[in-house]
Amino acid sequence: MRVRVLADADAVANEAARVVAEAAREAVAARGRFVVAVSGGRTPWLMLRALAREEVPWARCHLFQVDERVAPAGDADRNLTHLRASLLSRAPLPPANVHAMPVEDEDLDAAAARYARELEEVAGAPAALDLVHLGLGGDGHTASLVPGDPVLAVADRDVAVTAAYMGRRRMTLTYAALNRARSLLWLATGAGKAPVLRRLRDGDVSMPAGRVRREQALVLADALAAGDL
């Protein structure tokens, strides 16, 4: 795992956008397409707006979600709502290449299985995402892999549905999908992330984020989150 420290959240966002754009160009040159999965939360919003300004082969890009809250379409809790505002309304990504998690279905387990098949149709079987963007929660969660949730033990599926966390159930990629990705990009900003980022750097497997593989992983952190790293 590599950790790079930048001055502030804007610098992290701009560098992350550059990294994603470069990965997209390299993937398209090598394999004809770029398959990326983006996490929710506030941290990536700046990155996504910056990415819309980068030189990206959008027609060859496929965008998946790392996780999504179970909420109605357009709800402010939905990661897709903010993904649309930050990136999709600004970049010429073909609508057919946007793969939203089907969290509005009544049968969420069946919807998760269908999303896993969709991922395989685009990224191969077993699915190998080119790049996965991950965030880091203060409790050590990443994606919607949260402490104590039964989903942490799921090893035979790429997509699963969690128990309620902070008032919402979620659909999430599992460790199986995350650990198969060609590269991982973590973003961490703000002083509140300093203790958990230190644990991530040290490989603390007692927290969910610490169980994500470390090879080909890059962490971009601002000075506040880096603390005394």
Instruction: Tell me, yes or no, whether 221 lies in a domain.
Output: no
Contact 115, 101 (CB under 8 A): yes
Residue 180's CB is within 10 A of a number of other CB atoms, namely: 17
228 — pLDDT class (breaks 50, 70, 90):
confident
Residue 158 main-chain phi, psi, to 5 deg: -85, -20
Q: What is the DSSP string of 30-55?
A: HHS-EEEEE--SSTHHHHHHHHTTS-
Instruction: Tell me, yes or no, whether 208 lies in a domain.
Output: no
Q: In sequence order, what are the beta bridge partners of 134? A: 186
Instruction: Tell me, yes or no, whether 175 lies in a domain.
Output: yes
Model confidence pLDDT, tens digit, residues 61-75: 999 999 999 999 999
Instruction: Tell me, yes or no, whether 22 lies in a domain.
Output: yes
Instruction: Tell me, yes or no, whether 171 lies in a domain.
Output: yes
Model confidence pLDDT, tens digit, residues 102-141: 999 999 999 999 999 999 999 999 999 999 999 999 999 9
CA dist 50 and 203 (Å) reads 30
Structural domain boundaries enclosing 196: 2-201
Angstrom distances, CA of residue 108 to CA of 64, 103, 154: 17, 7, 16
Query: What are the DSSP E strand ranges found in 60-200?
Result: 61-65, 67-69, 98-99, 131-134, 159-161, 170-173, 184-188
The CATH code of the domain that includes 189 is 3.40.50.1360
- Parallel, antiparallel or unpaired: strands 2-6 and 217-222: parallel
What is the count of structural domains for the chain?
Answer: 1
Angstrom distances, CA of residue 144 to CA of 49, 57, 124: 23, 29, 23
Residue 43 reports pLDDT greater than 90: no
CA dist 227 and 219 (Å) reads 14
